[in-house]
Amino acid sequence: MNTRFCRTCLFALVVLCVSASVRAESPLGEQMDVMKNAFRSLKTAMEAPVDADKDKYVASADELRSAAIKAKEFDPKKVGEIPEGDREQFLADYRQSIDQLVALIDQLKTQLAAGDWDSARAQMRLINRAQGDGHEKFRSEES
């Protein structure tokens, strides 16, 4: 009985580990995870921002920006689903959307550094919308 239970637990652990590694198995997936975590941290912080933590907020925005720039280096999985003749434009559009995201993050950093919390929250909504639009356009169904 104990052996069967241990095997079941071990199997469940392996399944969890494999499923977690599949989601972030690509370098792009890793950067997207960094972006997601930095954004969530900022979103939580903006619920009740503290002036003394401005540097911390700017550092999170820097982390978000850095991951976005790194993500630009990688091709989304969906590129394999795009007809060959359209791939170059698809990748150009993808990279342009990342550039636009970085510009939004730069504005956020300025607002955070100034302690302009209302503008920072509004900017985060724009960033969230840009990320959602990007995922809709560039993310593969299996991602």
The model's pTM is: 0.80
Rounded Cα–Cα distance for residues 78 and 21 (Å): 19
Rg, the chain, Cα only: 19
- pLDDT given for residue 116 in this prediction: 98
SS3 39: helix
Beta strands in 24-99 (DSSP E): none
Encode 108-132 in three state secondary structure: HHHHHHHCCHHHHHHHHHHHHHHHH
Q: Which residues of 40-60 are buried (b: 16+ CB within 10 A; e: fewer)?
A: ebbeebbeebeeeeeeebbeb
pLDDT by residue for the chain (143 residues), tens only, comes to 555 544 444 444 444 444 343 445 799 999 999 999 999 999 999 999 999 999 999 999 999 999 999 999 999 999 999 999 999 999 999 999 999 999 999 999 999 999 999 999 999 999 999 999 999 999 887 65
What is the residue extent of each domain of the chain?
Answer: 26-138
CA distances from 80 to 7, 38, 51, 95, 142 (A): 38, 29, 46, 16, 12
Per-residue model confidence (pLDDT) at position 33: 96
Rounded to a whole number of angstroms, the distance between the first and last alpha carbons of the chain is: 38
Superfamily grouping for domain 26-138 = Cytochrome c/b562 (1.20.120.10)
DSSP 8-state symbol, 47: T
pLDDT at 40: 97
